[in-house]
Each structure stands twice: as C-alpha cells, then as structure tokens.
Amino acid sequence: MDTVNVNGNIIEWKENMTVQDVLTAMKYTFKLLIVKVNGELVRRDQYDSYKVPCKSEIDVIHLMSGG
C-alpha cells in the first residue's frame, strides 16, 4: 500500500492527494495548524492545491488555544 506518515501515523496515500485531503483523513479540524510536507512549510491558502507526494513525512503541528 502506498502511504504517507502524518505525525507518526501511517495512512493510505492516494493519487492527487492534497494537504486538505490529509487533514480530512486525519479528522484534523482545528484551525491553528502548521503544516510541513517533507520539511517544507505549506501555507493555509495552499492546503487545497498542494499535492502530497507518496511516502511523504507530514508534520501537522497543532498549536494551543483555550482558557
């Protein structure tokens, strides 16, 4: 199976998979995120267009918020 590694979790990679697809697959709905694909920072406005290569190492850093 083709995969990507998201925060240490292995998930299935699909052709034309975008950063937003990864966030959806992981159910990451929090908004204060920093996303790096193979060390490269992906801006929020690129989430829908940035294609994730197969076997990527993806960091989705959730920042903190709340009282």
Partner 1 sequence: MSVKELQSRHKLLKKQSYEPKELYRGYTDRVLYINLDDNTVAEKPIPAMMKEKFIGGKGYGLKLLWDGTRPDTRWNDNDNEIIISPGPIAGITQYAGSGKSLVVSISPLTDIVIDSNVGGYFGPFLKFSGFDVLEIQGKAKNDIIIVIDGIRNTVSIEEAPGEEIDSHIIAEQLTEMYSESADPRDMKNVSVISAGNAAQNTLIGLLNFSWYDIKRKKCRLKQAGRGGIGTVFRDKKIKAVVVKVTGVSPDPNHVADMEPIKERGARFAREMKELDPHQCRMKQEGTAHLVNVMNDYDLLPTHNFKFGSHKDADNIHSRVWNKKFTQGMNDGCWIGCTMNCCKGVDDFELKSGPYKGHKVIVDGPEYETAAGVGANLGIFDADAVIELNFYCDTYGIDTISFGTIVSFAMECYENKLITKEHTGGLDLHFGNIPATLELIHQMARGEGFGRIAGLGVRRMKEYFAKNYGADMKFMNDIGMENKGLEYSQYVSKESLAQQGGYAMTNKGPQHDEAWLIFMDMVNNRIPTFENKAEALHYFPMFRTWFGLNGLCKLPWNDVEPESNALEAEPNKVPEHVDNYVTIFNAVTGRSIDKEELIRQSERVYNYQRTFNIRRGYGLRKHDAQPYRAAGPVTEEEYLSRQERYDKQMKDIIGIDPAGKSLKEKMDITRKYREDRYEQLLDAVYKRRGWTKNGVPTLEHMKELGMDLPEVVDVLKKHL
Which CB, 15 or 31, lies closer to partner 1?
A: 31
Alpha helices by DSSP H, listed for the chain, are 19-25
Applying CB under 8 A, the span of 14-22, 29-37, 50-58 interacting with partner 1 comes to 29-37
Per CB under 8 A, does 54 bind partner 1? no
Least separation in angstroms between residue 33's CB and partner 1 is 9
The residue behind tokens 């694909």 is 37
Whether 58 and 4 have beta carbons less than 8 Å apart is answered as: yes
Which CB, 15 or 27, lies closer to partner 1?
A: 27
Query: 3-state DSSP call for residue 9?
Result: strand
